[in-house]
Chain A
Amino acid sequence: MTTETTVADEVGEPAGEPTVAIVAGDPPRRTASGWFGHIAGNYGLLIVWLLVIIAFGAAKPESFLTHANLASILGSQAVIAVLTLGVIIPMSTGDFDLSVASNLTLSAMVVAVLNVNEGWPLWGAIAAAVGVGTMIGVVNGLVATWLGIDPFIVTLGTGTVANGLTLWISGSNTIAGVSDGLVNAVVGSRWLGVPVEFYYALGLCIVVWWVFEYTRTGRLFLVVGQSRTVARLSGIRVARTRIIALGAAGFIAAWAGVLYTGNSGAADPSSGTQLLLPSFAGAFLGATVIKAGRFNAWGSLIAVYFLVTGISGLQLLGVPNYVQDLFYGGALIIAVGLSRLSRGRAAREEEER
């Protein structure tokens, strides 16, 4: 009878079900291929990564497999890794945050402007930058939930606003000369030959993993991302959960911006915005590994480093720079395609009904 579905429809949120859950839904079926399928489904990317390292190592042993190259790979990608770890939080609740890269750029610039032009102490500048970034995230959440607008649109808007603010406060100039303290704290020291910023990313990864797996908030993110209706009927405050997730993304994006400035001691008003696609590629590719079918912290970290391994290897082979765009763009599409395929035919047909 149609009456039941009518009631159920109305029970659903006006904003509808999360868009992201459609991309990363079921974990791969364990039944058909058994143990092998489980390993391939959850650790396939790790294996491919290993093969890629071996292949490049064989092709360019003198440059690829050097300590210096590995250290540079690990260090140089810390900003993207942090940004990716921020992006997966709202994704786990089913929301896209397209403003993270612009948020990062703005925060990086706030640190530089306040520290260099206004003469603020470093800690003050960083606190202000993190405050601005978190606020952008919270505003994203408030607008998306109060007005029922898809965060995809909201964050596209707030991201562009952040870009404008960045250009405004910087006068469209690169601002250099940030206190040495920041540069030292980010890239100045090394441990096991790897710049310390890599360990920041690693630490954040552990925190995000812990939140996802071992806290009530993390479980609520998961439930909200799976079905907002079920979440709501289970007594979860869906709007608040989504605001927290988007706020956390803003907070982490701001810290990524602080790291970004720390890499060179300078902030420029545009280059950071190009980190959006790599972080999304990492997030989606990361959802195919470790805990396949879910956005997860370790998977994201692995995916980010898998992607950069491929790019730096190809660059060492003499492939020109445009390979980076090909690689990131292609990886995004392939990752989403893989997660769709892993859901199995039955699940997809069910969805289309």
Chain B
Amino acid sequence: MDSDAMPAALDAAGIVKTFGTHRALDRVSLTVRAGEVHGLLGENGSGKSTIIKILSGFHRPDAGELRLAGVAVPLPLTPERSTALGLRFVHQDLGLIPALTVAENFALPQLSAAAARQMTSERSMSRRATDVLGRYDVHLDPRATIRSLSGVERAMLAIVRAIDGLDEAANATQQDAALARILVLDEPTVFLPRRDVERLFELVRGLAQRGCGVLLVSHDLDEIAEVTDRITVLRDGTLAGTAATGSLSRAEMVELIVGRQLTRTAPQSRSTADADGAALALRVEGLTGGQVRGVSFDVAAGEIVGLTGLAGAGFDEIPYLLYGAKRATSGSVALRRAPLVLHRLRPHRALRAGMVLLPADRRRTAGLLALDLNDNVTVPRLAAFRAWFGLRRRAMRRDSRSLLQRFDVRPPDPSRLFSTLSGGNQQKALLAKWLEVKPDVVLVDEPTQGVDVGARAQIFDLFREFTAQGRAVVCASTDHEQLALLTDRTLVLSRGRIVAELSGEALTKQRIAEACFESEPVTYDAPDYSPDREGAES
């Protein structure tokens, strides 16, 4: 590249960040040149978001240097300092307010700035929004609400809004040599229909041509190949490599992301349930809803089936759709006890039919934080404790204590508040709550997120014990190691469809990761931005 002579817009070197004992970033370097689109790739947990949060002033690095436009900048940054230095961020959720208009959303950043002292009229806001958006060739009705925009229009609005302030700051403080122009796009395309992404990329390329350095975080290798000039790949908190995009084949990119491991994952002592001979525990047919498009699969009794994919692939919605916690538009489920039609399914019916759901967000959707463990674990089984005078509270407490002991919740004290337990113990308590109702199928989403290693192994054992009784587990996760260790079979989704099925020898951490990245994207046939769903994202 000939721009080597010029100082890079952003040059971070030797960045180290440790969380507790976990080294999230180990001497990572990242260089973004002015005028280039630079891709940042890596699996979940590879350190992408950590480095972005250091740049945005959210995390404080343990060591490292940062130069912006050739000028050394002391670390750590604060969010205000990061903004003042010319760094701009657009995250996946875009930060738009759905009920407000384009013009109002466009004016939002100024509300907090000094400009708020000026009176702003509807008309001047509209004129400004139209002017600035037009400068970047984005044409939106300033009076339209965000709700009425398509996903890609929203993303473009958010990007222009972010970069707009940057241009003004650049004009105002020309003398500030350290002012860089860096736009960080953190997975802006995940929920966008493929054919619309092109419009977004035109905008991004245009910004780069105006001298802006763009850092694009994405999982989608096609997009990366299409729009970036160079890429940086992180793996397990270290720099796996930096290269010109054109110099790498797709397979080489996957290799950089996933890494070549010489040793296979340790041989697994999984229950060798024979899928052919065993009875069926669950048959899903034509499941459609959210991002999921016509997914069908079978789960045999005694089997643990994994679901995975990249963000936005829809795999993590399947447990919620099957449980009726999120409404499916079509599809059916056959269980041992009853067949269910999905678009009318509610959680209480799913529970009665023999399914339970363990959501990923323990604090908000699974645990009753302010109540004690006894209250938490007995909720689905209250009817069993009825007597002529009411609930047998002492029996409940005794039962809860032995249940907590059996699931090794520490301490096994039914009167402990749920919120005071560690993540691992919370999860074990929730497993106790749900496995005690003796379901046929357990649906889980990220069962070991925020759980320590010891508890993680115990949770795996609990699942195996459970399936050994002829029951089944469906587990959605982005933790490929977990899927390799825990599941008998893992289904990989891309853009709402199953694109690969791995089992036996092929079920390794590496093969799963490759399947996620290699999967040929399915072309979209229907417009995908139903207003209500997109509204929930922003």
- A residues with a Cβ closer than 8 A to B are 1-12, 25-27, 210, 213-216, 219-220, 222-223, 226-227, 229-237, 293
Contacts and interface: CB of A to CB of B under 8 A. Distances in A.
Given A8-B361, A11-B365, A25 B370 contact: yes
A4 B320 CA distance: 11
B391 A233 contact: no
21 contacts: A1-B44, A1-B478, A2-B311, A3-B312, A6-B537, A8-B359, A8-B360, A11-B320, A12-B364, A26-B369, A210-B390, A213-B390, A216-B391, A226-B371, A227-B365, A227-B368, A227-B369, A230-B366, A234-B379, A235-B350, A236-B348
Given A4-B316, A26-B370, A233-B365, A216 B347 contact: no
B360 A4 contact: yes
A6 B316 CA distance: 10
Nearest to B44: A1
Interface string B29-53: 0000000000000001000000000
A219 B91 contact: no
Interface in B92-106: 92-93
B93 A2 contact: yes
B326 interface: yes
A17 B287 CA distance: 29
A26 B420 CA distance: 12
B316 A7 contact: yes
A229 B375 contact: no
Contacts of A232: 325, 347
A261 B42 CA distance: 74
Contacts of B364: 8, 12, 227, 229
A44 B424 CA distance: 36
A2 B365 contact: no
Contacts of B537: 6
Most chain-B CB neighbours within 10 Å: which of A4, A27, A222?
A: A4
Nearest to A231: B379
Contact of A233 (B91, B92, B325, B536): B325
Given A11-B326, A214-B389, A236-B348, A223 B370 contact: no
Given A1-B311, A215-B390, A236 B370 contact: no
A233 to B, nearest CB: 6
Interface stretch (B122-130, B252-260, B380-388, B406-414): B380-388
B44 A213 contact: no
Contacts of B379: 219, 223, 231, 234, 236
Contacts of A1: 44, 311, 478
A215 B383 CA distance: 9
B461 to A, nearest CB: 24
A26 to B, nearest CB: 4
Contacts of B89: none
B interface: dominant SS: mixed
Contacts of A235: 347-348, 350-352, 380
Given A226-B370, A229-B364, A234-B379, 6 more contacts: A2-B91, A10-B536, A223-B371, A227-B365, A231-B379, A232-B325
A178 B367 CA distance: 53
Given A7-B360, A214-B393, A219-B382, A237 B348 contact: yes
A226 B368 contact: yes
A9 B536 contact: yes
Interface of B: 44, 91-93, 190, 290, 311-312, 316-317, 320, 323, 325-326, 346-348, 350-352, 357, 359-361, 364-371, 375, 378-380, 382-383, 386, 389-391, 393, 417, 419, 445-446, 449, 478, 533, 536-537
Contacts of A293: 370
B361 A5 contact: yes
Given A216-B386, A219-B391, A229-B365, A234 B326 contact: no
Contacts of A229: 364-365
Contacts of A7: 316-317, 320, 326, 359-360, 445
A343 to B, nearest CB: 9
Contacts of A236: 348, 379
B391 A215 contact: yes
A216 B383 contact: yes
Contacts of B44: 1
Given A8-B359, A219-B375, A2 B92 contact: yes
A222 B372 CA distance: 12
Nearest to B360: A4
Contacts of A215: 390-391
Contacts of A3: 190, 311-312, 316
B287 to A, nearest CB: 15
Contacts of B390: 210, 213-215
B368 A230 contact: yes
A233 B359 contact: yes
A213 B390 CA distance: 9
Contacts of B446: 4
A223 B323 CA distance: 20
B91 to A, nearest CB: 7
A229 B360 CA distance: 13
A131 to B, nearest CB: 27
Given A226-B368, A230-B365, A235-B380, A11 B375 contact: no
Contacts of A233: 323, 325, 347, 357, 359, 365-366
B414 to A, nearest CB: 14
A10, A12, A220, A234: which has the most chain B beta carbons within 10 Å? A234
Contact of A12 (B92, B317, B365, B368): B365
Nearest to A240: B348
Contacts of A220: 382
A289 B93 CA distance: 43
Given A5-B361, A8-B365, A235-B347, A222 B375 contact: yes
Given A234-B380, A235-B351, A11 B92 contact: no
Closest 9 CB pairs of A and B: A214-B390, A235-B351, A8-B361, A216-B382, A235-B348, A26-B370, A4-B360, A234-B379, A226-B368
Identify the interface centre among A3, A11, A220: most chain B CB within 10 Å of its CB. A3
A35 to B, nearest CB: 15
A218 to B, nearest CB: 8
A2 B90 CA distance: 13
A32 to B, nearest CB: 13
